[in-house]
Amino acid sequence: MSKFVTVIGARPQFIKAAMVSNLLRRENIEIMIHTGQHYDYNMSELFFDEMHIPKPNYNLGISGGTHAQMTGNMMIAIEDILLKEKPDGILVYGDTNSTLAGALSAAKLHIPIYHIEAGTRTHCDTNPEEINRICTDHISKILFACTKENMKELENEGLKKRSILSGDLMYDAFLKYSKYKTYKEIDFFSLTGDQIDISEGYYYLTCHRAENTHNDSNLLEILKAMSELDNITIYPVHPRNKTRALELHRKYKLEKIKLIEPVGYIESLALLKGCKSVVTDSGGLQREAFFAQKKCVTVLDFPVWPETMVDGRNCIVHPYKDDILNCLEKPQTINNMYMPFGKGNAGEIIVQTITQNI
């Protein structure tokens, strides 16, 4: 039996780990470290509960501060645990500071690193996630890529031999959990505190990227676009920009936008399935919109998942109101044969590969 340490800390990592941890534990020992990067109940524990993710063995309680403070503090704590637990390998997911901290701590101790969701590239050097993912990819033993596009990026950087096309865990998760709740079962009154009329439909908005939340202007453009639409918008607000979003909402009287607390994963998928279209800067939600065949507008300066940007299904726009509105109007066409994110068995491929390559 091999022993693995898994390092997770942010909302999308809980979702991905849900599709791996229970499988991994069938034949191996897994020690789970939660860095604490996300810590509110509805950003963390709720996901463990509803997706039956094994409880973390360690919670480091490290969040906030500068990137270096957060990453450095995590590294110090993770190193102690790795020295104590002596794992055969470490699993890290995606591109957050928790990912980089886990990978760097392990690399210095010569512990093999398995990087899940490797090879995504924005080619934007200042994007914090780009720095995290490039560094992590280059020190990992095996790189699991979601798409052929990601594989190409890894090949371009000389990492082909260590890379495996696993498919996307977010697709695995979508296939499993989107069955749990229909949008008709959503209690919109509890969610919004309002008797809202959704008979004509609603839009689903999320926004949390540093690029869109570091000042008022980007978020304001996004909110103004949503408030000009024909129907209301449901917007679960990420804690990063809660204060700013509430202030803008009050100041500009944006009543058509319903700000709500972050919801759990099952609720988020239900909201997605019922909505008319999605506006987001989230890497996860833009793929889920694609899976659910919902039109998506991604508000960012660079594409993160170009695979979704075909046939009008997802367009990238800078944060300008009119551009967002124009993009939303463009129709999408769906080719059911086109599925670049695998077969929904990424978890099995990942676990099998790790176990065979230890």
Q: For residue 65, what are the CA distances in angstroms to 38, 42, 72, 132, 336?
A: 13, 21, 10, 16, 44
Which residue's beta carbon is nearest to the bound ligand UDP? 284
Nearer to ligand UD1, 221 or 281 (CB): 281
Q: For residue 75, what are the CA distances in angstroms to 85, 130, 160, 275?
A: 15, 19, 28, 41
Least Å from the CB of residue 53 to ligand UD1: 16
Are 329 and 312 in contact by the 8 Å Cβ rule? The answer is no
Q: Which residues are catalytically annotated?
A: 208
The packing angle between helices 242-251 and 216-227, to 10°, is 50
Residue type, 91: L
Residue type, 295: K
128, interface contact from ligand UD1, ligand UDP, none, CB < 5-8 Å by kind: ligand UD1
8: left (phi over 0), alpha (psi -120 to 50) or beta: beta
The residue range among 7-15, 327-335, 339-347, 349-357 that interacts with ligand UD1, by the rule CB under 6 A, is: 7-15
Task: Report how many residues bind ligand UD1 under the rule CB under 6 A.
Answer: 18
Is 208 a residue that touches ligand UD1 (CB under 6 A)? yes
Member of 9, 283, 303, 344 binding ligand UDP (CB under 6 A): 283
263, interface contact from ligand UDP, ligand UD1, none, CB < 5-8 Å by kind: ligand UDP
236, interface contact from ligand UDP, ligand UD1, none, CB < 5-8 Å by kind: ligand UDP
Select from 312, 310, 314, 256 the least CA-distant residue to 284.
314
Is 175 a residue that touches ligand UDP (CB under 6 A)? no
Subset of residues 233 to 262 that bind ligand UDP, contact rule: CB under 6 A: 236, 262
In a 10 Å sphere around its CB, with 0-12 CB exposed, 13-18 middle and 19+ buried, how is residue 337 labelled?
exposed
Least Å from the CB of residue 230 to ligand UD1: 29
Subset of residues 199 to 238 that bind ligand UDP, contact rule: CB under 6 A: 206, 208, 236
Least Å from the CB of residue 278 to ligand UDP: 10
286 token code pair: 């833009």
Long-range contacts of 250-253 (CB under 8 A, 24+ apart): 252/220, 252/223, 252/224, 252/227
Binding site for ligand UD1 (CB under 6 A): 10-12, 37-40, 43, 63-64, 95-97, 128-129, 208, 239-240
Binding site for ligand UDP (CB under 6 A): 11-12, 15, 206, 208, 236, 262-265, 268, 282-285, 288
